[in-house]
Structure 1
Amino acid sequence: MEIYLIRHSMTEGNKEKRYIGTTDEPLCAEGIELLKEYSGRYPKPAHIYISPMKRCIQSAEIIYPQMMMEGKYSIMEDLRECDFGRFENHNYIELSGDMQYQAWIDSGGKLPFPDGESREGFTERTRNCFRDVLKDALQHSWARIAVVAHGGTVMSIMEEYARGEDGRSAGSYYDYQVKNGEGYELRITENDLYDGGTCNWLFTGSDVRGSKVAVSSGAPDRTSDLGNGTNYKKLPPGK
């Protein structure tokens, strides 16, 4: 299955380098123009899964206008961005001197956001939602889907599923930061979707790849993709 993970285009908060998570703001004029510049360069999916935030819905409407008019999309509540808590809608200049902010910076972004989400809680939420997306796509036999969401959501999914030339995890959370309107084309195999030998919908690709074992669900064994090369590339093409 091919999944097109796309970060929404630019908002006023993005322009001002603010932490925009729960703030539901639309695209700014520059964000709209950016997607028009990329017009026609995104792969076409069979279905689109979208965060409920305005900036994501508006981005999907510009990138895939015909599909959106035809109702070929699903709104997925838990694809939404992280709740930045006290840092929400502020930028690093405004937060300069804030002891909690400095502690978060010193932790490498690993501490929970004060009055917001922890990274662990956020990644668990978004990855569980992504598994629901994959289940739904498989039930409909869709081989190509798009996910229009947020930078953090893309990073969360890529950290779990992206792999390098050796077939192992290709990087950590912050390695997958992308600019507005950009993202990744990610290829998911059957080994990424099934727990070894049980046919459970666990979608824990790291367990399968790490064990180097074949996977069986009653059908012919699915051999590991370990060593088969990188399973992702940047979007949009030609960027």
Structure 2
Amino acid sequence: MMTIYLIRHSITEGNRWKRYIGRTDEPLCRQGVKLLEGRTYPRVDKVYASPMKRCLQTAGIIYPDMRPMVIEELAECDFGLFENKNYQELSGYPYYQQWVDSNGTLPFPQGESKEAFTKRSLKGFDKVLEDMRETQEEKAALIVHGGTIMSIMDAYACPKGSYFEFQVGNGEGYELVITNDLPGTDGICAGSDPGRSQVALSSGADDRTADYNIRKNYKKLPAQI
């Protein structure tokens, strides 16, 4: 069984102005550094991170004595023409309104589609799981992006939720429990890919759903950790 903490990087200047920050490689702003001061995050055996400065800087503050293993596929979505712009700047752009009306299902113009981004994110997460199995690590932290967390949780969280239900604030995230040796099928999310790791029942989580007959395998990390 593996416990993985999915933690979103702290605040950047682009985040402060509610911009779409994907490929823009900006560092944390002063407010972002201050946000992490005094916080204590769960102890882990290993740290994995997106290659972006904001994630590496967050990892260095949260886990100063650990060198993160960089996973390229865990980088944020390519927002294309929306990159480094906010709602006000995009409000007169017809394709932006079409994208909003589609509930984010349309691809970003000259950027990634949700499907391509999710596929890439899960490929990166598979690398994390494979490395944890090889090194026999039981607890790890992923310092990544909001979109990356949503993609992973959408695929692995039980009971199933929708993609946008898993949004988290800067410096926040989820604890996710995973195993690949569950007996039978009890505890595996309905509709999960049989080729993927099976999902364990989280200790201390006892709420079930009639549709899936499973217990939750995740919990949200508190805003003030």
* TM-score, scaled relative to structure 1: 0.80
| 1:12-27 equivalent positions in 2, closer than 5 A | 12-27=13-28
Tell me if the contact between 2:22 and 2:77 (Cα under 8 Å) persists in the aligned partners.
yes
Note the C-alpha offset of 1:207: 3.3
In structure 2, the CA distance between the partners of 1:140 and 1:237, relative to structure 1 (3 Å rule), is farther
Which residue of 1 is the match for residue 74 of structure 2? 79
Tell me if the contact between 2:3 and 2:138 (Cα under 8 Å) persists in the aligned partners.
yes
- Pick from 134, 143, 155: which aligns with 2:138? 143
Q: 1:83 is paired with a residue of what secondary structure?
A: coil
Write the distance in 2 (CA, Å) between the matches of 1:107 and 1:206: 25
Q: 2:18 is paired with a residue of what secondary structure?
A: coil
Moved over 3 A (4+): 236-239
Tell me if the contact between 1:160 and 1:205 (Cα under 8 Å) persists in the aligned partners.
no
Matched, 1:50 2:49: yes
Q: 1:4 is paired with a residue of what secondary structure?
A: strand
Q: 2:143 is paired with a residue of what secondary structure?
A: strand
Unaligned runs of 5+ in 2: 199-211
1:212-237 deviation digits (Å, cap 9, x = unpaired): 9xxxxxxxxxxxxx634100011147
Write the distance in 2 (CA, Å) between the matches of 1:80 and 1:163: 24
Write the distance in 2 (CA, Å) between the matches of 1:33 and 1:134: 31
Superposition RMSD on alpha carbons, in Å?
2.1
- Pick from 186, 190, 213: which aligns with 2:176? 186
Q: How many residues align?
A: 203
| 1:84-233 equivalent positions in 2, closer than 5 A | 84-164=79-159, 169=160, 171-190=161-180, 206-208=192-194, 227-233=213-219
1:21-71 deviation digits (Å, cap 9, x = unpaired): 00000000110011114x22x111101110000000000000000123xxx
Note the C-alpha offset of 1:238: 5.4
